[in-house]
Structure 1
Amino acid sequence: MNIIIVGAGKVGTTIADQLSSENHNITIIDLNQKKVEEAEEEFDAMGIVGNGASHQVQVEAGVMDAELLIAVTGSDELNLLCCLIAKKTGKCQTIARVRNPIYSKEVNFIKRQMGLSAVINPELTAAQEISQLLRLPYAKKVDTFARGRVEMIKFRMNPELHMDGLQVADIISKMKCDIMICGVERQGQVVIPNGDFVLKNNDLVSMMAVPKETAKFFRKMGIPTHQAKSTLIVGGGTIAYYLAKQLLEMRVDVRIIEQNKERCEMLSEQLPEATILQGDGTDKEFLLEEGLMHTDSFVALTNMDEENLMLALLARKYSNAKLIAKVNRIHFEEVVDELDIDSVIYPKNLAADHIVRYTRAMQNSLGSNVETLYKILDGQAEALEFVIREDSSVTNQRIMDLPLKDHLLVCYISRYGKLKMARGQDMLKVGDSVIIVTTHKGLHDITDILKY
């Protein structure tokens, strides 16, 4: 597809990276010539220096032949204007980043009135992911499918779980829980395991189940399943605001540390049930005074990646809290993953996943849409949810008889609102929602799960 991206910042370049790897033709528009040149070189994209809201600039970028325009500048209003001009000038679909909380309750109205295909809010999405992690403190990562009815939980296989040397099939039969182990990360290697696969201490295991079965499994493992009751947040930006709103609704005690006095006053007005503290969140003594040793969870959301990571490591030394750090720019994810931090959140990657999911759905050829898509297992695999719209070569045959690609699992089927774990005897039908996990990248259609 021909895709125009307006804005070459952190989110824009991450989206360009993902879409160029899927063989789309990318054009990037930005006012900063250096950023445009860097993007041209890195993503083999065409670059235009100019205002993305300019009709002339959009025409020069090829909006008349584009299928999609994505506006992700730092200004919500500019993003909306870019999309409006693109809709009036060409026939492309449009996606805008809208992050200001003022607009959060008006997103559906904005989409409908402006004809937007989608609205993305990386900060809100990041806050939602963090709140899920605080609901399930034992998880390093939580992804949801089937509108929240299926969860994929990543956790570390610690020695105290006493599962070292056990086969996947043994664990499932021993625990008597309806779960599916769908991915294992070990020393940089990624495996989609079968029943004979042997787990080892320190493995990062991704497991899929409905929430009730997830809780049952971890209870039997002796891991506490209650949500965090208190949190200490360092950094009072947009993510912190969205997160605090969600946690207060979950009846979590929220304390936010922010240095800027005006921002503190604003947060105090908008979040009257939270405790807003003006101070330096990097000051160890201040953190200890404000309850670091006693909080259930600690979330580092400053604007500096290194600061967030160091704060989380400091909190590890002085507390038993669930630790979460936000990272935007660091490209050494494999190094970050080795740090003793429970969960690391990458807001720009969340936005990119959303865009890739949308472009895959636009490309579907045989009537099956990509409803949900996550990059999993350190980006080396994908978990996808397809909705089957038409009969095809995968429907009305037993899964065990289908020539499925290697390193691919059919995990769950949702039919008429009822969920079931996929078994070899099951058949896929029109109308089903199907969850797949695979190391094969770029699946666009449900028929892509077949070898031929």
Structure 2
Amino acid sequence: MNVIVIGCGKVGTALASQLVAENHNVVLVDMSAEKLDKVSQDIDAIRLVGNGASITTQREAGIQTADIFISVTNSDELNLLCCLIARKVGHCHTIARVRNPIYSNEIGFIKEQMGISMIINPELAAANEISRVLRFPSAIQIDTFAKGKIELLKFKVKHEFGLDGLSVMEIDNKYHCDVLISGVERGDEVAIPDGKYIIHDEDMVSIIASPENSAAFFRKIGLKTNQVSSTMIVGGGTIAYYLARLLESMKIRVKIIEQSRERCEELSEKLENTIVIHGDGTDKNLLIEEGLGTVESFVTLTNIDEENVFLSLYARDNSDAKLVTKVNRLAFDELISRMDLGSLIYPKYITADYILQYVRAMQNSIGSNVETLYHILDGRAEALEFRIRDESEVTSKTLMELSLKSNLLIAAIMRGGKITIPRGQDRIMCGDTVVVVTSQKGLHDIRDILK
């Protein structure tokens, strides 16, 4: 497809990179030639200096033949204007990033009146992601397929689980929970394991299962499966506001520590059941006084990555709280991911992933049958959801009879609402939803799983 991306900040660059990797034709537009020059040469996109709201610039970018127009500049109003003009000049789907909470109750009206296909709010998306892991604190990351009926969960193996030295097959035989170990991260190494692969303490393990079966597996190995009852949030920005609202609706007790008195007063007015503390969240004594030692989850949402990292390290050593750490800059993400900071939240990645899901859903109508795609194992593998619409060389045969590509697992099959972790005798049938985990990039059709 032909895609125009307005704004080459972190989100725009991440989007362009992934869209190019998925074989779309991308034009990246920004008013700053310097910013465009800094975009990696590995991203094979056309770079155009200009104002995305200009009809001349949009025509130069190819708006007449564009399938999707995405505006992710730092200005909500500019993004909306860009999309409005794109709708008038071209005949494409339009996506706008809109961050200001003032617009959050008006999104439906804005979309309808301006004809915008999708509006993404990065802070609300990040808050939703955090609330999901606080519902299931044992998991470091949770992604969903088949409208939530299949989950991909990542957790860290601890000594008390009794998994050290067991093969994947032995774990399956011991616990009988119908879960599939689909990926393992060990230091800098990643693996899509077979049945003989040995699990060790400190491994990061990804499993695929139904929510019920994953919960049963976690209970059997001694991991907590119920949601947290309390959380402490450091930083009272927009994500904190959305998150507190979500957690209040989940009956979770919330305490926010914020340095700005004015912001504290604003949050106190908007959040009925949240305790808002005016103070410095980096003050260790204040954290202890406000209950760090007994709180069940601790979320760092300041605007400074270093503060978030150090706060989470301090909380790790002084509490048993579930940790959630927000990271904005991506330059040191590999280093940060090795620091045991609980669940890492990258708002820029989340925003890009939401938009990419929409792009893929659009692509389904013109040939591809990839419904959902997540990057896993530190970005070195993918988990894809396929909807099987037609008979092919993949359907009706047993999995054992299929000649599959290497480093590829058929992880789950949903048929008639029932989830199966498939074995060699199972078959893929028309109408199924199939989840595949692979380090092979560029799969667009279920037939691509074959050698």
After TM superposition, the score normalised by the length of structure 2 is 0.94
Task: Please say which of residues 98-107 and 13-22 is displaced more in the overlay.
Answer: 98-107
The letter of the residue matching 1:225 is T
- Sort the Cα spacing of 1:306 and 1:80 in 2 relative to 1 into closer, same or farther, 3 A: same
- Sort the Cα spacing of 1:98 and 1:139 in 2 relative to 1 into closer, same or farther, 3 A: same
* 2:253 counterpart of 1:249: no
* 2:105 counterpart of 1:99: no
Q: Partner of 2:56 in structure 1? A: 56
Paired with 1:448 and 1:324, the residues of 2 have a C-alpha distance of 37
Contact 1:135 1:226 in 2 (8 A): yes
Provide structure 2 residue ranges, at least 5 long, that are not aligned to the other structure: none
Contact 1:168 1:198 in 2 (8 A): yes
Paired with 2:95 and 2:299, the residues of 1 have a C-alpha distance of 30
Q: Partner of 1:80 in structure 2? A: 80
C-alpha RMSD over aligned residues: 2.0
Paired with 1:190 and 1:339, the residues of 2 have a C-alpha distance of 17
Contact 1:354 1:373 in 2 (8 A): no
Report the secondary structure of 1:288's partner residue: helix
Report the secondary structure of 2:372's partner residue: strand
Paired with 2:156 and 2:293, the residues of 1 have a C-alpha distance of 24
Q: Partner of 1:19 in structure 2? A: 19
Q: Deviations 1:173-201 (Å, cap 9, x if unpaired)? A: 11121111111112212111111111112
Contact 2:301 2:326 in 1 (8 A): yes
Task: Please say which of residues 366-375 and 331-340 is displaced more in the overlay.
Answer: 366-375
- Sort the Cα spacing of 1:52 and 1:69 in 2 relative to 1 into closer, same or farther, 3 A: same
Paired with 1:23 and 1:75, the residues of 2 have a C-alpha distance of 28
Cα offset, 1:332, TM superposition: 2.5
Paired with 1:207 and 1:45, the residues of 2 have a C-alpha distance of 35
Paired with 2:382 and 2:301, the residues of 1 have a C-alpha distance of 27
* 2:341 counterpart of 1:337: no
Cα offset, 1:300, TM superposition: 0.5
The letter of the residue matching 1:67 is D
Q: Partner of 1:235 in structure 2? A: 235
* 2:450 counterpart of 1:450: yes
Q: Partner of 1:111 in structure 2? A: 111
Provide structure 1 residue ranges, at least 5 long, that are not aligned to the other structure: none
Q: Partner of 1:132 in structure 2? A: 132
Cα offset, 1:169, TM superposition: 1.0
Contact 2:21 2:442 in 1 (8 A): no
Contact 2:168 2:196 in 1 (8 A): yes
Q: Partner of 1:400 in structure 2? A: 400
Task: Please say which of residues 124-133 and 359-368 is displaced more in the overlay.
Answer: 359-368
Paired with 1:252 and 1:82, the residues of 2 have a C-alpha distance of 40
The letter of the residue matching 2:269 is E
Cα offset, 1:265, TM superposition: 2.1
Paired with 1:400 and 1:91, the residues of 2 have a C-alpha distance of 46
- Sort the Cα spacing of 1:99 and 1:290 in 2 relative to 1 into closer, same or farther, 3 A: same
Task: Please say which of residues 364-373 and 334-343 is displaced more in the overlay.
Answer: 364-373
Paired with 1:12 and 1:86, the residues of 2 have a C-alpha distance of 17
Report the secondary structure of 1:48's partner residue: strand
- Sort the Cα spacing of 1:420 and 1:367 in 2 relative to 1 into closer, same or farther, 3 A: farther
1:9-408 aligned at under 5 Å gives the runs 9-39=9-39, 41=41, 43-364=43-364, 367-408=367-408
Report the secondary structure of 1:73's partner residue: coil
Paired with 1:275 and 1:147, the residues of 2 have a C-alpha distance of 34
Identity %: 56
Paired with 2:315 and 2:144, the residues of 1 have a C-alpha distance of 28
Q: Deviations 1:116-173 (Å, cap 9, x if unpaired)? A: 3333222222111211211121211111112112211111111222211111111111
After TM superposition, the score normalised by the length of structure 1 is 0.94
Contact 2:167 2:196 in 1 (8 A): yes
- Sort the Cα spacing of 1:48 and 1:262 in 2 relative to 1 into closer, same or farther, 3 A: farther
The letter of the residue matching 1:411 is A
The letter of the residue matching 1:154 is K
Contact 2:5 2:72 in 1 (8 A): yes
Paired with 2:365 and 2:114, the residues of 1 have a C-alpha distance of 27
Paired with 1:430 and 1:108, the residues of 2 have a C-alpha distance of 35
Cα offset, 1:363, TM superposition: 4.1
Cα offset, 1:249, TM superposition: 1.1
Cα offset, 1:55, TM superposition: 1.2
Cα offset, 1:93, TM superposition: 2.1
Cα offset, 1:50, TM superposition: 2.9
Cα offset, 1:421, TM superposition: 2.3
Contact 2:360 2:371 in 1 (8 A): no
Q: Deviations 1:328-386 (Å, cap 9, x if unpaired)? A: 11323221121131111111112222333343444458855322211111101111112
Q: Partner of 1:419 in structure 2? A: 419
Contact 1:316 1:323 in 2 (8 A): yes
Task: Please say which of residues 271-280 and 394-403 is displaced more in the overlay.
Answer: 394-403
Contact 1:361 1:444 in 2 (8 A): no
- Sort the Cα spacing of 1:110 and 1:396 in 2 relative to 1 into closer, same or farther, 3 A: farther
Report the secondary structure of 1:3's partner residue: strand
Report the secondary structure of 1:43's partner residue: coil
Report the secondary structure of 1:206's partner residue: strand
Paired with 1:145 and 1:105, the residues of 2 have a C-alpha distance of 27
Paired residues, number: 451
Task: Please say which of residues 207-216 and 372-381 is displaced more in the overlay.
Answer: 207-216
Contact 1:399 1:427 in 2 (8 A): yes
Cα offset, 1:241, TM superposition: 1.4
Paired with 1:47 and 1:238, the residues of 2 have a C-alpha distance of 32
Report the secondary structure of 1:201's partner residue: coil
Contact 2:360 2:372 in 1 (8 A): no
Report the secondary structure of 2:64's partner residue: coil
Q: Deviations 1:388-435 (Å, cap 9, x if unpaired)? A: 233333223322222221111112222233322223333323322211
